[in-house]
Structure formats: C-alpha cells, structure tokens
Structure 1
Amino acid sequence: MSTTLHESAAATPPTAAPRSPAAADARYDTLVATLRDIAAEHPDVVLASSLAAEDMVLTHAIFANDIPIEIFTLDTGRLNPETLGMIDTITAHYGKAIRVVRPDPAAVEQYVTEHGPNAFYESVPLRKACCEIRKVVPLRGALAGHSAWITGQRREQAVTRGELPDREHDPVFGLEKYNPLVLWTQDDVWQTLRRLGVPTNPLHDRGYPSIGCEPCTRAIRPGEDLRAGRWWWESSDSKECGLHAGNVSATPVSVVEFSKRSG
C-alpha cells in the first residue's frame, strides 16, 4: 500500500495535565536527583539529545540545576530546519551551548554516489547503512572514552522499548546506559515541559511526537503509536537506527510497499 505524508491534529502534544502539580513536581525532583546520582557515579557521563521533547526535559533538568553533564546532538545533515534551530534556541534560553557532532563528509558522499540520496527507502539494509554513517559512527566517536551515556527513551514509545530498563549495559557501545525517563508517559513529559516553560521543537505542534531525519520522519495519524512516523515504510519491530540496536527484537523484519519520492 502507498503511504502519504500528512500532518495530524490528533498527533499534537496532549493538553490535559494527568497528575496533580505536587505529583508533577515530585516526579521532576526525582529526575533531578537521579541525574545528580548518575553524574556522581560517572563524572564523564554525557546526554545524547535528539532535540525532541524527552531530551528537552533532560536538558532543562541538567542546565537549570547546573548538573555537570555534557550534552551533545547529532547533526546528520538531513534534519529539519526546525530541529537545527533548537541548537540556537537552547543556547539563547539557557546561556549554555550543546556540542554538535557530524558525520564524516567523505562517507556520506560515498553512500550518496553509490546508492543515491534517498536509497534508504529501497531496503532495510540500505536504510540501516545510511543510519550507520550519519548517526551510529558519529555517536560511537562522541561516546569514545566515556563510561556512561544518558538517553530520553521511554517504554511507552514503541514495541521495541517495551522492556526497557532504567539502567543497562550497552552492548553496542560498551558502556553504561541510563534511561531516566523510562516510566514517564507522554503526558508526564508535556506536563513538565509546560510547567517549567521549556522550549520545544516546533515540529511537535505539527503532529511529530518523535523526530529524526526529515526524509525518514512524518507526522503520525490518529491511533498510531508514538514512533509510527519514524521509518513508516518498515514494520514496527525494525524501527531503531542502530543507536539503540539492543532494543530490536529478533522478529524478522517486513517492509511495507512505499511510493518513492524524488528529491
């Protein structure tokens, strides 16, 4: 079946506050305490930020409370302008900069020359090869020499994250990995963002709960899960890019027919 891109009003961030202000404050205070504990145990820990909602909760907790955790983001070269704009927005809001990590231009050029700029639509292996060059290899370099890293992953986000722990040993990059928002719901995330006045990616207001590279991300439809807009032409059990490869189940991957687009 063909898939068309569109924005969905039903996919906009929730407006209801699901918990009392006191409960929301307690949840946030616990997060701050957890991040302090992680930084104390791993003075070299880093946060890898996608510049999306969950990572903005973590960014605010770190910067607003002067927790000594470095924050970096991956500029893949295919991000939406709105996502790239968040880098300057963060600096302006907090007076602190995040580090930007980019892929090897030669590796990107070789992939495009051999396969084309949008070859990731053609097969799972080609999509994963693109993610490897633009995301996984740069992340590996950013994590080199560190003993731990932090992510904004939540169990609610996707079937590949249903058993996600709050702390694990990362077999892909060989260090400790923390997921302090693992039990947070989407409502929890947005209640905190709104209560604390945290800047957010404008794409969220256009129906993008999960944000990645522009050609591989769309707004979700009513009833779809929160990561349905990521690599939407693939089955749900393959929707990891390699940054969190340990989440992917052993279930064989199927690919949905896709109407290719030029450009």
Structure 2
Amino acid sequence: MRHAHSPKVAGPFDRRLGVAAADLAASFVGKDLFQRVASAAERVEGEVVFTTSFGIEDQAISHAILSQGLDIEIVTLDTGRLFPETLRVWAETETRYGVTIRAHSPRHDALEALGKRQGVDGIYLSVANRKDCCTVRKIEPLARALDGASGWITGLRGDQSAQRAGVEPAAVDAERGLLKINPLFDWTRDAVVAFTALHEVPVNALHARGFLSIGCAPCTRAVASGEPERAGRWWWEEEAAKECGLHVGPDGRLVCAKELSA
C-alpha cells in the first residue's frame, strides 16, 4: 500500500501538460512580453485566461494582450474590498482599450456566512480567519474564473518575495488541471515600471504612494524604504504566511516555483 506522503504518479494528462509547459517555457527564451503572451495564445490548446488585479505587473500584461488583440480572456476578482484607486484604474483600462473586463465576485450567501463567523474585520484576529476570508472573496471566485480554462496567465515575478523566488515561466497546476503561465517570471520591478511608462499604460495611483503590492484595502499598506515588495500585505502576520492561497498548492508551496536549496 502506498503511504499518504508518497509522491503522486503522473498520469497521461499530467505528462501532456508537462510537455506543453516545457515547450511554452522554451518559447519564452529571448522574447519580449508581447511575444511571450502571443506564444501563450498560440501554443496553449483551449481557452487561456488572464486574471488581473490591476497592479503594475498585470497592467503591463494587459497592455501586451490587448494591444495585439490576442484571444486571451481577461478577468478580475472583485472581492468587494478593493481600493477606490483600484476601481479607478480598472475603469481607465476599459476606456483606454475599449474593452469590458469581466468580474467574478464572491457568492452572496458565502459573504453573509463569513460575516456571521468573524464579523467585519475578523481577519486581524487570526491567520485562519484571514485565510477564510481569502477563500470566500478570492479562491472560490477564481475557481469559477478558471473553469474550463487550459491556461492561466499570472503576473508573478521571481523577485517579488523569497517565496516567489524560482518561479518558472510555465508549469503544470495539477490541482486545477491547467498550465500556469508567468510571462514576467524573470523581470525586475524596474523593468515593469519602465515598460508601463514607455507604453503609457494606466497604473494604480497607489504605487506612487508606496503601495508596491496591492490587494484588498484592509490587507494592504505602503512599504517603507528597503522593505520587500510584499511586506505591505497582511503585515500583522509572520512573513512565512504572505500568500492568500491563489498561487499555492495543497502542500503550501507556490505552484510554478522550482525547488530551492536551503
């Protein structure tokens, strides 16, 4: 009998995705952002979805997709607790590119139950409460956003945090049964800032006020000089817990990250 901790044996579906991930990653070598997202649209069989939170990385990717008219669906998760500045750049993006970005929102019954369990700001009382809120407001809506998708484009960069170091250009998200694609995996923040400035891409006004990583308003603060980009997310928690769950697997590891040495 195989023990519970034994590695899962990859089936034909996993192997096929693995080959596709390797092929897509190879196609990114030496390519710019426009070429990388175009390669994703061309090489991934089936629907490709890009989930944007309207941060600067996602704005760069949106520009690369929309300026080329690629067949990639752009969606967002409207958690109900976004900053007014985030809503403003959402509207500016729709106006600039002449599109409507579809939102996936939390279920009303789940929100009511969440409020009954922990009150309006129970997230500050425990990590379990905060993760419960993230599940209701982000993870469940994400599942609906990605339902039926073959590829998921994200704005992950390897230098955003220690946990995201080693993020790969493309990898298999076995839990969701799709390819997870990170076209900015090897970009620096300065490169993203330069790209959005060059192409006059709308960016969130909070970035200029020290909010380097922007999520829900109760969970985000500006960072001080020298702090890591994601230090302003869930700042009252231990550093090891700085993920909402969108990008981690059941084992708590970041999906798409290489195994790093200690």
TM-score bracket, normalised by the shorter chain, equals 0.7 to 0.9
In 2, the alpha carbon distance for the partners of 1:230 and 1:208 equals 9
Letter of the 2:39 counterpart: D
**2:34 aligned with 1:32:** yes
**2:147 aligned with 1:144:** yes
Q: How far does residue 174 in structure 1 lie from its aligned partner after superposition?
A: 2.3
Query: Within 5 A, what are the aligned runs for 1:47-58?
Result: 47-58=50-61
In 2, the alpha carbon distance for the partners of 1:28 and 1:195 equals 20
Q: How far does residue 172 in structure 1 lie from its aligned partner after superposition?
A: 3.6
Contact 1:159 1:237 in 2 (8 A): no
Aligned to 1:45: 48
- Secondary structure of the residue aligned to 1:176 is strand
In 1, the alpha carbon distance for the partners of 2:126 and 2:219 equals 13
Letter of the 1:32 counterpart: F
What is the aligned-residue RMSD (CA, Å)?
1.7
Aligned to 1:20: none
Aligned to 1:111: 114
In 2, the alpha carbon distance for the partners of 1:111 and 1:96 equals 33
Query: Within 5 A, what are the aligned runs for 1:64-213?
Result: 64-213=67-216
- Secondary structure of the residue aligned to 1:89 is helix
Q: How far does residue 201 in structure 1 lie from its aligned partner after superposition?
A: 0.6
- Secondary structure of the residue aligned to 2:155 is coil
Gaps of at least 5 residues in structure 2 are: 1-28, 255-262
In 1, the alpha carbon distance for the partners of 2:205 and 2:189 equals 16
In 1, the alpha carbon distance for the partners of 2:187 and 2:89 equals 23
Deviations 1:60-86 (A, max 9, x none): 001111111110010000111111122
In 2, the alpha carbon distance for the partners of 1:164 and 1:29 equals 17
Q: How far does residue 28 in structure 1 lie from its aligned partner after superposition?
A: 10
Number of residues of Structure 1 aligned to a counterpart in Structure 2? 224
Contact 1:75 1:102 in 2 (8 A): yes
Q: Structure 1 residue aligned with 2:229, among 222, 226, 230?
A: 226
Aligned to 2:257: none
Higher RCO structure, 1 or 2 (CA under 8 Å, sep 6+) = 1
Runs of 4+ residues deviating >6 angstroms: none
Gaps of at least 5 residues in structure 1 are: 1-26, 251-263
Contact 1:237 1:248 in 2 (8 A): no
In 2, the alpha carbon distance for the partners of 1:205 and 1:139 equals 28
Q: How far does residue 249 in structure 1 lie from its aligned partner after superposition?
A: 4.7
Cα separation, partners in 2 of 1:28 and 1:220, compared to 1, 3 Å: farther
In 2, the alpha carbon distance for the partners of 1:48 and 1:55 equals 8
Aligned to 1:214: 217
In 1, the alpha carbon distance for the partners of 2:116 and 2:183 equals 40
Aligned to 2:13: none
Q: How far does residue 164 in structure 1 lie from its aligned partner after superposition?
A: 0.9
| TM-score w.r.t. length of structure 2 | 0.82
Contact 1:131 1:242 in 2 (8 A): yes
In 2, the alpha carbon distance for the partners of 1:210 and 1:87 equals 16
| TM-score w.r.t. length of structure 1 | 0.82
Q: How far does residue 140 in structure 1 lie from its aligned partner after superposition?
A: 0.4
